[in-house]
Amino acid sequence: TPGADIAPLAPGTDGVSRLLCVAAVTPRKGQHRLVEALATVTDLPWECVCVGALTQDPAYVARLRDLIAGHGLQDRFHLAGPRTGADLDAAYAAADLMVLASYAETYGMAVTEALARGVPVLATDVGGVPEAVGRAPDGGVPGILVPPEDPAALAAELRGWFG
């Protein structure tokens, strides 16, 4: 079964909440929903970095860039392109919260990688994501799962996280 090696715990950041999304930038990964949700919490201090391929659906990437600009989020929402190895490790190390707004996910490897580094996860409750999030020894869920078709729930959980 897929898994992630235990990695050094992420130190996170101070002051500004640094969000990390690790997924190819495609419609099924739902980055547009993440932009829409974050546009409702611009009164709070956050920055979001999306790490993942920008070449699979160039038209979607262009629409996403327009959406980011339309909400005035160019300085806060960054499409960083693919990262691997030490660069990806650095992205996780800088993260306070991993966010994944997918419509479909077979396993959720990025979720597993985040949790292995001690980075909390806010993700949509789709496919293999609940399995990847798993259960803590006390039966609790070490992350927050929201319905995939409910951007308001994603926004509310983000506000709660920042609050």
Distance CA(48)–CA(65), nearest Å, equals 13
Residue 90 covered by a domain: yes
Please say whether the beta carbons of 111 and 117 come within 8 A.
no
Q: Count the helix, strand and coil residues of the chain and give each as a percent rounded to the nearest 5.
A: 35, 20, 45
Q: Looking at the predicted structure, is the pLDDT value of residue 13 above 90? A: no
Residue 8 covered by a domain: no
Residue 12 covered by a domain: no
122 DSSP β-pair partners: 99, 144
Q: What is the CATH number of the domain that holds 38?
A: 3.40.50.2000
| Residue 154 domain boundaries | 17-162
**Could you give the count of Cα atoms lying within 13 Å of 133 in the half-sphere of its Cβ?**
23
Q: Where are the alpha helices (DSSP H) in the chain?
A: 31-38, 58-70, 85-93, 109-116, 129-133, 151-162
- Out of 13-22, 42-51, 135-144, pick the least confident: 135-144
Q: What is the pLDDT of residues 78-137, one digit of tens each?
A: 999 999 999 999 999 999 999 999 998 888 899 999 999 989 999 999 999 988 888 777
Residue 2 covered by a domain: no
Residue 10 covered by a domain: no
Per the structure block, which two tokens stand in for 126? 């789709």
- Please state, as a whole number, how many other Cβ atoms lie within 10 Å of the Cβ of residue 100: 25
The per-residue pLDDT for 5 is 56
Number of structural domains, the chain?
A: 1
Residue 28 covered by a domain: yes
Residue 7 covered by a domain: no
Distance CA(87)–CA(51), nearest Å, equals 10
The per-residue pLDDT for 134 is 83
Nearest-10 crossing angle of helices 151-162, 31-38: 50
Residue 88 covered by a domain: yes
Q: What is the pLDDT of residues 32-91, one digit of tens each?
A: 999 999 999 999 999 999 999 999 999 999 999 999 999 999 999 999 999 999 999 999
CA-wise closest residue to 37 among 15, 24, 21: 21
The per-residue pLDDT for 1 is 43
